[in-house]
Amino acid sequence: MFSIVFPIFMVIFIGYVFGRFRSFPIGSDKLLNDYVLYISLPALLFIAVANADPVELLQWEFVFATLGGIAVAYLLGVILGSLRQFSHTQSSLVGMAACYGTTGYMGVPIAVSVFGEQAAVPAAIATILHNIPVIMTVIITHDIAAKASQDNGSLLDSLVGAVKTTFLNPLTLAVIAGGAVSFLSLAIPPMIQSFTTFLAGASGPTALFALGLGLAKLESKDSTSLRNIAFLSPIIITKVLVQPSVTFAIGYFIFGLTLDNIWFIVAVLMSAQPIGAGVYVFANKYNFFKDEVAVSITISLIITVMSLSFLLEYLKT
Whole-angstrom distance between the N-terminal and C-terminal Cα of the chain?
A: 11
pLDDT, one tens digit per residue, over 287-314 is 888 878 888 888 898 899 889 988 998 8
Q: Cβ-count burial of 82 within 10 angstroms (0-12 exposed, 13-18 middle, 19+ buried)?
A: middle
pTM summary value: 0.83
> Quick one: which H or E segment has residue 16?
helix 2-21
Give the pLDDT of residue 195.
92
Reply yes or no on whether the pLDDT at 191 is more than 80: yes
Q: Is 259 helix (H, G, I), strand (E, B) or coil?
A: coil
* CA-wise closest residue to 69 among 103, 109, 112: 103
Round the average pLDDT of the chain to a whole number and report it. 85
pLDDT at 169: 78
Q: Where does the pLDDT of residue 94 fall: very low under 50, low under 70, confident under 90, or very high at 90 and above?
A: very high
Looking at the predicted structure, is the pLDDT value of residue 256 above 70?
A: yes
152 pLDDT more than 70 = no
Q: Which CATH number fits domain 2-315: 3.10.129, 3.30.70, 1.20.1530, 1.25.40?
A: 1.20.1530
pLDDT over 70 (residue 193): yes
Sign for the CA dihedral angle at 201, 207, 209, 210 comes to: positive
